[in-house]
Amino acid sequence: MKKLFYSIISSSFLTLSAWANTPVIVVHKVLDDITNIDVGSSHWRGAKETQIILYPQTTITLNDKKANELNANNTAQTLWVKAITDGKHIAFKLRWHDESKSVQSGNVIKNTEFADGFAVQFAAKYDDPTKLPYIGMGSKDRPVVVYLQKAVQKLFEPNGNGDVHKQVNRANVHAFNSLINHDLEKFDIDVEQLAVRDYQKAFVAEGFRSMTEIKDHSTKFNAQMQYQTKWFGQNEWEGVVVRSLNDEYVKFYNDPFPVAFAVWDGAKMGRDGLKNLSTWIIAQFEGVQGRDGLKNEFDKDLTAANIANGETLTKANCASCHNYGNVNEAASSYMAPNLSNIGGYSTTPYLIESITHPNAVVVPGYNRNAHSNFAWYYEDGQGGKTSAMPSFEYLTQEEINDITAYLKTLKAEVK
């Protein structure tokens, strides 16, 4: 036990020194229009590739037994990211290893296929780096916009907008009356043309469960993913997302901005929360000197912190509700977010805020009926939520730093 303790400590120090260099994606400026850019475009050549680590989502456990078994020993994974802008749009190119190409075929006899995919998430507001949205799809009053691309072969959604109300049988006479001025032939043509639909979606979200698709084209974007089979080295996916620099959801100024990434592995039945995700990553425009508030906060100096003391404090203050790593002392694993990878996908300011002001970001967690004895928050009946977690503001600044520094070490290793 003692030996294990020391090995945790020593590995923690190693991790800490590595984490001090927050990766920064440099958004390369190109001259041509990039609206229709794809993974093979030559515009990517000038952009620098940044290495980012994605960590398995372990905050909540979903209820698919087989999938949980497949994902029980997930490790962290590497994602390589490039970014470019033409002054009107911004594009990200992602690259990650995946030995198995999983495509959801839409075949009527295949109901247990899951697609590989990726998502890019932006914070709607990021002027205050200490109050960024929660990494898991935002939080109340701190919305995010998510662009999602999945490897789905053919999605039969006959009106092409993802609406389902047009899914009628051609024998349904009510669907073809004068109200919508549709005749049967036109319906057939529509279905034929629109049934093939690439699975790319944009969402706004203010926390788990609230994710809502943007269907009115108020965010202009395009996405693509392509599987690369390599003769040498590992097979990988390449993905691209391009969107307008400014729309009603997110506006980019000269300042560095936060962006986050997630990747799903269909072979492991990945979907929804069964994914690997990054923390907020800083992206900055090449050659532009913006305010570096984000970087200052993200790199907040915790090197003076005492991680061993942080571990003791975490055990004393947090472990009765939160499980993490090998510490499983909570009365129920459904009681509070599992912190096993919290250091991987959280920023320093978020951890400090959560310790001192747990109500600032309330993680909705499970459906309220799913584990009704373990509410993560209380409702005031007017839309307000109070976290079940008490504030630990009474701890000294040093103690909070020690805990934060320890929490930053809680994360899976890269395979």
Partner 1 sequence: MSKRQLAMVMDLNKCIGCQTCTVACKTQWTNRNGREYMYWNNVETYPGTGYPKNWMELGGGFDAAGDLQEGIIPNIEADYGVPWDYNFEELAQGKQLTPNIEPTWGPNWDEDQGDGDFPNDNYFFYIPRICNHCTNPGCLSSCPRDAIFKRDQDGVVLVDLDRCQGYRYCIAGCPYKKIYFNPKISKSEKCILCFPRVEQGLPPACAQQCVGRIRFVGFLDDEQSQVHKLVHQYKVALPLNAHKGTGPNIYYIPPTEAPPKFDANGNVIEGSNRIPHEELEKLFGSEVHGAIKTLKSEMKKRKETGKSELMDLLIAYQHSEMFRLDNNYYKSLANTKLAPLDNRYIKGKNTHKISYFKAGH
Give residues in contact with partner 1 (CB under 8 A): 62-66, 68, 104-113, 152, 155-157, 162-165, 167, 169, 174-175, 177, 179-180, 199, 208-213, 215-216, 271-273, 332, 334, 366-367, 369-373
- The burial of 107, by beta-carbon neighbours within 10 Å (0-12 exposed, 13-18 middle, 19 or more buried), is given as exposed
Nearer to partner 1, 82 or 201 (CB): 201
CB of 108 to partner 1, least distance (A): 5
CB of 377 to partner 1, least distance (A): 15
Per-residue tokens: 366: 């499970």
Pairwise CA distance, residues 94 & 78, whole Å? 10
Nearer to partner 1, 68 or 235 (CB): 68
CB of 257 to partner 1, least distance (A): 27
Nearer to partner 1, 175 or 327 (CB): 175
Nearer to partner 1, 56 or 310 (CB): 56
CB of 176 to partner 1, least distance (A): 9
Per-residue tokens: 162: 């993802």
Task: Name the residue type at position 209.
Answer: R
CB of 333 to partner 1, least distance (A): 9
Pairwise CA distance, residues 388 & 362, whole Å? 9
Q: How far is CA 19 from CA 13, 54, 298, 313, 405, in A?
A: 10, 14, 10, 21, 10
Nearer to partner 1, 310 or 365 (CB): 365
Nearer to partner 1, 113 or 255 (CB): 113
Pairwise CA distance, residues 306 & 301, whole Å? 12
Nearer to partner 1, 124 or 355 (CB): 124
> How big is the CA angle at 249 (ends 130 and 265), to the nearest 5 degrees?
80
Among 246, 260, 255, 272, smallest CA distance to 344 is for: 260
On whether the CB atoms of residues 412 and 55 are closer than 8 A, the answer is yes
CB of 199 to partner 1, least distance (A): 8
Pairwise CA distance, residues 348 & 57, whole Å? 18
CB of 5 to partner 1, least distance (A): 32
Strand 281-285, strand 24-29: pairing: parallel
